[in-house]
Amino acid sequence: MSSLQPVRGTHDLLPEEMRAFRHVVETGRGVAARYGFAEMATPIFEFSGVFARTLGDTSDIVTKEMYTFADRKGESLTLRPEGTAGIARAFISNGLANDLPFKVFYAGPMFRYERPQKGRQRQFHQIGVELLGVSEPQADVEVIAAGRHIIDALGIKGNVTLEINTLGDTESREAYRGALVAFLSGRIAELSADSRERLERNPLRILDSKDEGDRAVIADAPLLGDFLNPASRAFYDDLKNGLMDIGLDFVENPRLVRGLDYYGHTAFEFTTDALGAQGTVMAGGRYDGLIKTMGGPATPGVGWAAGVERLSMLLAEAPAAERPVAMIPAGNDAVIRREATILTERLRRAGFCVDLAFSGNMGKRMKRANKVAAKVAVILGEDERLARAVTLRDLDSGEQTTVSLDRMEETLRGLFAGGGDAFGGI
């Protein structure tokens, strides 16, 4: 094993893995486009304030997981830990509030200084959508439907469940927060050390604790549902009805909360039991206060992000690479080699994916053709050259025939189209 290691929590994407990875991103991009989300990209680093202010200073991401550094001018920059803040910043920077709704899809690397585990890396990749400018719950329904559609289109292994909850509007949430803190303070002795700390910082998160003692206490805790004001309750009901109208199954999870401070109303997660502790595959919610908090015009928003690595690990089957044509010069004669290069380029210009065997005897070159899963071998030797022809061998059936050069592309297309009698009429 080499001493040249990649940085902790980072990984190389070798071609085979990359195919699965790209399939996830391309499927996401394609499905999102059907829902009207146009792709955009923001820089992978921003001024640190973009994240520090928007994610909230109680979130773990801001308090201990950011890759922050000073550039040569002493400016504090941060590698983006998630995508929404950058999109929101771009939305404001570019004055996009005049053209609502604003619907975007994005894909790219994110960075968090965390302890790596399966499905949890320091550099990972997300795809995500954001829908800004619509305060009606139909927007939430559309965003969630796009997410479900992508997961279905990918053919994810195992069961992926949609869990939803409402955090209510600010008024409801503050009322609940007060009640919850009062309740938990009364039973603080029963709480885990982690949760005691969270009581001040982010009490809602205690609801999500995996500690058994905590869970016993939480079972008796007041429910957020009982603190929703009429508007918040109506919003949540509309969301649920909207999901049911289009046949999206969901499970209500009153303990589902969000780690980031900017969320309100809708919170949702798509989870699987196939990834151990990292079961969340896609998550999001509504963030009506975010744009204003960042200094932009008050604009509601809703969106989600999904982990590309997590999704690609769950891919039922990664798409196979395209089957090439193998160009096989017979022998090492300089004239044949030149001719092979010319024909290879000609086929590529004609749209074929061509693997040119550079060296070795014929057997070796054929083996290579087999290894790259070529569909057809184009054999070019002295006989063919003199006849201004090539021999085409179907590597699946073993049938081969010699065709004149001006029929090469046509015959190849026939073979790729799967026509059994592609050699017919030659």
Partner RNA sequence: GCGAGUGUAGCUCAGUUGGUUAGAGCGCCAGUUUGUGGUACUGGAUGUCGUCGGUUCGAUUCCGAUCACUCGCCCCA
Closest CA relative to residue 128, chosen from 152, 107, 151, 142? 107
Pick 229 or 404: Cβ nearer RNA: 404
Distance CA 374, CA 328 (A): 11
For RNA, the binding residue among 33, 49, 94, 118 (CB under 7 A) is 118
For RNA, the binding residue among 382, 404, 410, 419 (CB under 7 A) is 382
**Number of Cα atoms under 13 Å in the Cβ half of residue 8:** 6
Pick 265 or 393: Cβ nearer RNA: 393
Burial class (CB in 10 A: 0-12, 13-18, 19+), 213: middle
Q: Does 370 bind RNA (CB under 7 A)?
A: yes
In sequence order, what are the residues at sequence separation of 6 or more whose Cβ sits closer than 8 angstroms to the Cβ of residue 401? 391, 392, 423, 426
For RNA, the binding residue among 198, 232, 264, 312 (CB under 7 A) is 198
Q: Smallest distance from the beta carbon of 112 to RNA, in angstroms?
A: 6
Of 149-157, 235-243, 306-314, 348-356, which part binds RNA (CB under 7 A)? 306-314
Q: Smallest distance from the beta carbon of 286 to RNA, in angstroms?
A: 14
Q: Does 388 bind RNA (CB under 7 A)?
A: no
Sign of CA dihedral 188, 193, 194, 196: positive
Q: Does 173 bind RNA (CB under 7 A)?
A: no
Binding positions for RNA, 6-65, rule CB under 7 A: 7-10, 59-61, 65
Binding positions for RNA, 203-232, rule CB under 7 A: 205, 208-211
For RNA, the binding residue among 46, 142, 169, 309 (CB under 7 A) is 309
Q: Smallest distance from the beta carbon of 125 to RNA, in angstroms?
A: 8
Pick 233 or 255: Cβ nearer RNA: 255
Strand locations in 197-323 (E): 251-252, 264-272, 280-286, 301-307
Strand, helix or coil at 105?
strand
User: Is-contact 287 4, C-beta < 8 A?
Assistant: no
Site string for RNA, 265-294 (x = CB under 7 A): ----x------xxxxxxxx-----------
Closest CA relative to residue 314, chosen from 4, 27, 100? 27
Distance CA 59, CA 300 (A): 21
Q: Does 307 bind RNA (CB under 7 A)?
A: yes
Asked if the bond preceding 101 is cis, omega within 30° of 0, the reply is: yes
Q: Does 79 bind RNA (CB under 7 A)?
A: no
For RNA, the binding residue among 47, 161, 400, 405 (CB under 7 A) is 400
Residue 333 phi, psi (nearest 5): -55, 135
Of 225-233, 245-253, 258-266, 407-415, which part binds RNA (CB under 7 A)? 258-266
Residue with tokens 């050699």: 423
Binding positions for RNA, 327-366, rule CB under 7 A: 330-331, 360-364, 366
